[in-house]
Each structure stands twice: as C-alpha cells, then as structure tokens.
Amino acid sequence: MFESLSDRLSGVFDKLKKRGALSESDVSAAMREVRVALLEADVALPVVKDFIKQVSDKAVGHNVLKSVTPGQQVIKIVHDELIAMLGGSADQEPPASSETLSLIGVPPVAVLMVGLQGSGKTTSTAKIAKRLTEKDRKRVLMASLDTRRPAAQEQLQVLGEQIGVKTLPIIKGQMATDIAKRAMDAARLQGFDVVMLDTAGRMHVDAALMAEVVAVRDRVQPVETLLVADALTGQDAVTVAKAFDDQVGITGVVLSRMDGDGRGGAALSMRAVTGKPIRLIGTGEKPDAIEPFHATRIAGRILGMGDVVSLVEKAAETIEAEDAERMAAKMRKGQFDLDDLRSQLRQMKKMGGMKGLMSMLPGIGKLAKGASQLDDKLLGRQEAIICAMTPKERRDVRVLNASRKRRIAAGAGVSIQDVNKLLKMHQQMSGMMKKMSKMGKKGGMRGMPSLPGMGGMGGAAGLPGSMGDLMGGLGGGPQGGGLPPELEALMKKKK
Amino acid sequence: MTEQKKSWFRRLTEGLKRSTGALSGGIGDIFTKRRLDDAALEELEDLLITSDLGVSVASKLTQFLARERFGKEISAEDVRGVLAGYLTEILAPVAKPLAIDPAHCPHVILMAGVNGAGKTTTIGKLAQQFRDQGKSVMLAAGDTFRAAAVEQLQVWGERTGCPVVTTRLGGDAAGLAFEAMTRAKAENVDVLMIDTAGRLQNRTELMEELAKIVRVIRKQDETAPHDALIVLDASTGQNAINQVKVFSEVAQLTGIVMTKLDGSARGGVLVAAAEQFGLPIHAVGVGEGVEDLRPFDAEIFARTLVGLEVEDAA
C-alpha cells in the first residue's frame, strides 16, 4: 500500500528540530518525497515536475508557524497548491448541480461523450442523463453512436429503461453521424432539452475513428464535449487528454471509477494538461453514483491524506438526525445503554464497516495492514449479542448475572467471554461519556455524536489495538482536537 | 509458416511502436554520445516512469545501469540494449502462452478484472482462436450486472459459432457458472470460458461474489478453473498492481492478459507485476481484430518498450 505523504515527510523532517524559515535544502529534501508520492498516485511526470517547481518556489523561505512542524507546513503548502491546480480553492464549495454542465443554448442542446474503450462512457452517459432529468428537470434523450462494439446500443437502451430516460430507437446499420442527426431531429420534434450522445470507444491514435467523432461534433455542434476517463489511468492520462482536446476539443472531463482504490492522480494530469475542468466523478455502479468534483477532497486523496470530508458526509447521511439528537441528549446526561450501543454498531455497519471507514481516514498508511485482519463480522456478532438480550437487560446491564449471560451467549451463538468483552466495552464507553458530559465541552459532540462514540469504542477491549489508536485520534479528544480543519468547519456548519 | 510468423511480429511491433515512440525518442535524446552521469541517469529514470514502470522499478533499472556503465561514454543504442536485456530477464520467465490441456474436459477459463478492461472482448477473440485450432468452445455470460453484457457475448457466440450459456439480467452469476459447468461436461466441449462482471477490487461484496463463483466451479471439478485470468488495461497506472494482488487472493489467478496496447499507453506496469507476483503473462491485445490478441513475447515487449527495432523473425 501507499505510504501517505505525511509519513514520508515526517521521516525527512525528523532530524530538523530547529524552527524558522524553511531552507532550500529542507525544501528540496521534502520535494523528493512529494515527487515520489505524486508519481505513486499516478500523476503524470511532466505535471509532477511543473508542480514541484511551483511549490518549491513558494516553500523556500516560508516561515514555519509556531504550532506546526516543518513537515506539516510543507504538506499545507503542497495541499493548497494542489487544490489550486485542480481548479478549486481551499474554502470554495463546488458549484450547484445545474452549474456542473453548461447547457445554455436553443434546445435541444447536444452533449457529446468521448473517450477510450472501456473508460465508462455509456455508464456515465446514463448517470448524467438521470442527474439532468431528476435534479435539473431537463427532458433528456440519449442516443448511442457506438456501431462497433457488439450490443453497445442495446446497453444504452437497457440503461435508459432502468433509469427512466428515453433513448433513440435503434436502426441497425446506420452510421454514427446519421444517428447523431436523427437524434437531434427527433429531439427537436419531440421537445427535448438535452441530447446525450454516447460514442464508440476509440484510441486517440486511430486517425480514422478520431475523424468520425470530429464529423459528429461538426454535425451537432455540442455545447459540451466531455472526455470520459478512467480514474485509474496512469502516465498515459496526459497523452490521452491532450490528444482528445487537440483533435476534438473537449469542454470538460468526467472521471469514472473514482470509487476504486486508485489515488486519482489522473485528475491532476488531465486538468493540468488541458486546462479543462473536471466536471463530474463516477463513484459507483448504481445509476445515481455520480457527483460533482471537489478539488479539496481529491487533493487529500492524491497525497494519501484520506477523504475526511466524504467520511463526515457519509456519516451525516447514514445517521438519522432524530436518532442523533436523542443520543446526544442521553450522552450529555451520561446515560448510554446497550440499545444506544447497538444503534452505533448498526451505523458503523451502514457506513461500510471498519474497512470502509478506515479507507477514508487520513494517515492510515501503516494501519491499513492491520485493517486486513480487521473483522467486519465482529460488528455483526456484537450486534447479535445485544439482540439476544431482553429489553430490560439492554436498558440496565446490572441485572446480568451468570445465568442470563449463558442464555445470551447461547442465543447469539458466541462464547460467554464474547459477551463479557462486549459488556466491558460498553462499560468503558459509558464511562467516557460520563467524563465528557462532566467536562461540558462545546462543539464536537453536538454536531456529530457518533464519532466520539467510536472514539470510545476504539479504546475498548473488543477491537485490536491499532484501531484503538486510530479511533482515539479521530474523536477521542473532548474538544475534537485531533480533527482536521475541514471536518471542524463542516461540523460547525451542520449545527 | 514464415510468412505468418512475420506478419504477427509486425503486428505486435506496429502496435507497440506507437506506444514506445515517446520513450525511445527520449532515450535517444539523452544518450547520443554522452557520459553516463547522475543527470543522465535521472532523466532515464524519469523516462521509465513515464511508461508506467513505477518509481521503484524505474530506480532499480537505473541503478542497475549505473553499476554497469557509470562514467562511461555510452550510446543510446547501448543503453537500450542493456535495458532491454534486463527487462527481458524479468519478463521471460512469465511469458507463457495460454495452453489448453486436453486432459481436462472441459478446460475451464475464468475471466476477471475491473470494469471496462476488456474481458468480454478478450473472450470473444480467444474463442475464435480456439475454434480455429479445431476445438469446441462454450461461453458462459457471467456478467449479469451490466446492461447488455449478455447480448455482447451472444454476438461473439454467433460470430464464432460457440454456444452461450446465459441467465437473466441481475441473475446469480455463481448459479450460471454451475449450470455452464454441467452443460459443458454433458456436451463434452473442450474449452469453457466464463465471463464475469467487471468489479473494482476494493468492493468487498463484489469480490465475495467472485470467490463464490470459483467455489461453485470447484464443486463440479476440483481442478477447475484451470486458468483464472485477470484482464488489465494497458492505460492503467500503478493501481494495476493492487488489482492483481487482490484478485489473486480472491480468485487464485493463474495468469494475466493485457489489452489496449495499441494506444499510447505502454503497459510498463507489467514489469512490476512480473517482479512482484511472477504470474504468467499469456497474451497482449494490440488492436480490435481477432488476430490482434497475441501471445506475450518477453523479448519483443522489452525491446519495443525501450524503442529497439525487433529483428525480423527468422
């Protein structure tokens, strides 16, 4: 697995104890690590070089703030520069959905989807069409111009039926340009707003096929020509993006498969070499798994800093607001019974289990190995134990005697030790809750009640030690002190 | 025979030449009568990185070159020769063509990989090649998730004259694999190729599903699948290593096929994969035609990767 940039840099700066301005040699040592980190994230080499040069110029002579280490300071500079290069600024939110694509023009306007074979054009076409239909209330017609791959046109047709978007009827043997013209005519007659044209995958070195897509472009005059590219693309990303931009002229990029475990360096490469914005990212196989591009998050991911904001959003989505309110109130009073523990376990499962959570947390390069032994079934077993209890037992653990424990263990199919472990964990957690409520802290807890809970859980006996450190780091501090700035900002906003 | 052999060497090199133009041009620029010094080595490392060899393999190669020739006058041709030799050494042990064992009845090939790598197309091409060798082939449309994936394989079935076992969209892929195994045995076919839905290796539940397909196949024949192949897209970067690793754990891969080498991507990640996993590389795809799926040849790949002309097959 990748080492995160912060791990790498802490190695470089360990020797550097003194404070003050960053010297040229400090910076160049750090930049070597940045270079490797970016290359491992599949950022294209020419882009890496430009980037390093820019950052070095900024970093040399930069004063190290009192409260941070030189390593952290460099990461901040790198991170900010990366965000700027990806086309965002640290505090700027992405545009609203209707602004991700510019569809200004006399309807019907055409959106042309181009890209290599297997980059995800057809799936992205359907996802965008669904988004435009549902979020932007547009009338969308989809048409496949892929006359080459077997059953490509049928694929779009089936997808159209699944998502409830009209597709142009298939006429076998028609040429791509003719299909495009037919789609535009049909859309004009039937009053559609947008025509999504899915094209055949083609190699950018294939002159004949590139000429075909240019002919289509000239025919329909698209308002948007989107290059669909695989987020897992390596060094070739610059060549592909440049070739498509030079030959066809793209207006933006759609990055597919951002839900993979690649670091997404292709995003930076393509943005840097074409200057065209990344409009949308594909984040899953379901037809609504497409999102606007967030420069901040991708920057963190490229640097291996995790995707904390997505984690918090996912948490916010999963946790029912009322549930959270109720639990926060209980926690403030220092009450935390097994019903509450169960709902926390369920939330964690919903959020993709331990591994899902880990993958989004920053600084887990080393811990990722521990994660592979981490058993998501543990959550299920713990839930089963609680389910095997009577409501009375769940409300008050003090009634649990040996005989009751035996019954619960048998009911949940675990050993009595497992039951005891769970009880101990609950005890530790409720102890922590009490402590926290006494401290009367502000912020943190109210906005995001489940995260401190996880912090408590991490320290508990039921989980491996490495997780304990990790979870403790996330939410353990009563002030939410270990949280990155984005997270804190978000929590403030939520409340 | 010579005629035929020549044509496939040419095809492979033509495809790969486009891929390597930039890299070899770069090496030429650096080393036209130059002393091999630190600056030259760094530039060389950069060029290797640009072909997706990865940072660690690239630095290993340059260090190797430094040990051999540091401080000496060296021509571009020499650098290429030395590099090609080293790459061939890494790749030769894993260059093994896909072999059908007639003792297996049927010989079961399972295709896996991430979405859009080219699994179905590769199956179609292989089916045609096996048919040309006079073998009977059955295909199983195990991609029950993607819209029209079944139809896509059915078109290949019609083109190549192979029966295709199918189920409905959203059906159980493992169940389909079981049925395909039963039918293939009953109909006594030589080769059964099972397609699977593309899946990203970090999607645990989808990888579970793949593991189940393998388990179900083994219920019918303990030795199957005789080949479990991962299809890698040549344009994929360092993530390909992770793909091979995770798919290996889940489906006990026996080999690699690399597709789309006819673009400008050079597939250098294969070198890292060969070093790390030692999995046989069976074939490379250099175009859309059936004959463009070619056995992997270490020397040709290595020599074209560094921009050396491949001598005519004699």
Interface membership of A254 toward B (CB under 8 Å): no
> In the structure, what pLDDT confidence band is assigned to residue B1 with cuts at 50, 70 and 90?
very low
- Rounded to two decimals, the pTM is 0.74
A33-37, A491-495, B232-236, B290-294: range with lowest mean pLDDT: A491-495
Tell me what pLDDT residue B235 has.
Answer: 93
Instruction: Find out whether A273 and A247 touch, Cβ atoms under 8 Å.
Output: no
**Residue at A310: amino acid letter:** S
Show Cβ contacts of residue A493 under 8 Å, excluding neighbours closer than 6 positions: none
Instruction: Decide: helix, strand or coil at residue B153.
Output: helix
Show Cβ contacts of residue B105 under 8 Å, excluding neighbours closer than 6 positions: B185, B188, B190
Asked if B63 and B133 sit in the same domain, the reply is: no
**Average pLDDT of span B204-210:** 91
- Specify the CATH number of the domain A333-494: 1.10.260.30
**Average pLDDT of span A280-301:** 86
Q: Of B13 and B141, which is predicted with more confidence?
A: B141
What CATH fold (topology level) applies to the domain A5-85?
Answer: Four Helix Bundle (Hemerythrin (Met), subunit A) (1.20.120)
**Does position A218 have pLDDT exceeding 70, yes or no?**
yes
Show Cβ contacts of residue A111 under 8 Å, excluding neighbours closer than 6 positions: A101, A103, A128, A194, A195, A196, A197, A222, A223, A224, A225, A226
Among B94, B119, B148, give the residue marking a domain's end.
Answer: B94
Q: Rounded to an integer, what distance in angstroms lies between the CA atom of residue A129 and that of residue A140?
A: 6
Among the partner residues A118, A239, A376, nearest to B233 by beta-carbon distance: A118
Instruction: Provide the token pair at A348.
Output: 């964690």
Q: Tell me the per-residue pLDDT of A128-152, one tens digit each, with 9 for 90 and over.
A: 999 999 988 999 999 999 999 899 9
Contact across the interface for B147 and A159, Cβ inside 8 Å? yes
- B302 within domain boundaries: no
For B1, half-sphere exposure in the C-beta direction (CA atoms, 13 angstrom radius) is 1
Q: Rounded to an integer, what distance in angstroms lies between the CA atom of residue A204 and that of residue B264?
A: 8
Asked if B9 and B141 sit in the same domain, the reply is: no
Tell me what pLDDT residue A394 has.
Answer: 87
Tell me what pLDDT residue A260 has.
Answer: 84
**Residue at B52: amino acid letter:** D
Instruction: Decide: helix, strand or coil at residue A107.
Output: coil
Q: With contacts defined as CB-CB under 8 Å, which chain A residues touch B117?
A: 118
Q: Single out the residue of A269, A196, A290 nearest to residue A50, CA to CA.
A: A269
Tell me what pLDDT residue A366 has.
Answer: 44
Q: Single out the residue of B232, B235, B233 nearest to residue B51, CA to CA.
A: B235
Q: Rounded to an integer, what distance in angstroms lies between the CA atom of residue A345 and that of residue A314?
A: 15
CA distance B86 to chain A (A): 22
Q: With contacts defined as CB-CB under 8 Å, which chain A residues touch B266?
A: 236
Tell me what pLDDT residue A372 has.
Answer: 47
Asked if B273 and B220 sit in the same domain, the reply is: yes
**Average pLDDT of span A276-295:** 89
Tell me what pLDDT residue B48 has.
Answer: 87
Q: Single out the residue of A140, A240, A241, A150 nearest to residue A197, CA to CA.
A: A140
**Average pLDDT of span A246-275:** 91
Pairing relation of β-strands B281-285 and B293-295? antiparallel
Domain ranges of chain A: 5-85, 97-301, 333-494
- B44 within domain boundaries: yes
Asked if B11 and B39 sit in the same domain, the reply is: yes
Q: Tell me the per-residue pLDDT of A412-429, one tens digit each, with 9 for 90 and over.
A: 999 999 999 889 888 887
Q: Rounded to an integer, what distance in angstroms lies between the CA atom of residue B234 and that of residue B220?
A: 34
Tell me what pLDDT residue A321 has.
Answer: 57
Asked if B127 and B241 sit in the same domain, the reply is: yes
Q: Tell me the per-residue pLDDT of A425-475, one tens digit each, with 9 for 90 and over.
A: 888 877 777 776 666 544 443 333 333 334 333 333 333 333 333 333 333
A360 vs A4, A90, A289, CA distance in Å? Answer: 13, 19, 17
Among the partner residues B55, B234, B288, nearest to A39 by beta-carbon distance: B55
Geometric angle at alpha carbon B40, from B36 and B44, rounded to 5°: 115
B68: containing domain: 3-94
Show Cβ contacts of residue A57 under 8 Å, excluding neighbours closer than 6 positions: none
Instruction: Provide the token pair at A178.
Output: 């003719």
> In the structure, what pLDDT confidence band is assigned to residue B189 with cuts at 50, 70 and 90?
very high
CATH of the domain at B72: 1.20.120.140
Asked if B162 and B241 sit in the same domain, the reply is: yes
What CATH fold (topology level) applies to the domain A97-301?
Answer: Rossmann fold (3.40.50)
ipTM, 2 dp: 0.86
**Average pLDDT of span A282-298:** 87
Within 204-243 of A, beta carbons closer than 8 Å to B belong to 204-205, 230, 232-237, 239-240, 243
- B311 within domain boundaries: no
Asked if B179 and B142 sit in the same domain, the reply is: yes
Q: Is A202 annotated as a binding residue?
A: yes
Number of domains present in the structure of chain B = 2
Geometric angle at alpha carbon A187, from A186 and A191, rounded to 5°: 120
Q: Tell me the per-residue pLDDT of A37-94, one tens digit each, with 9 for 90 and over.
A: 889 889 999 999 999 998 888 888 776 666 566 777 777 788 888 888 888 654 444 4
Percent of chain A with pLDDT over 90: 38
CA distance A152 to chain B (A): 7
**Residue at A118: amino acid letter:** G
Q: What is the mean pLDDT of chain A?
A: 77
Instruction: Decide: helix, strand or coil at residue B261.
Output: coil
Instruction: Pick from B120, B239, B241, B286 the residue to mutate for testing the A interface (most A CBs within 10 Å).
Output: B239
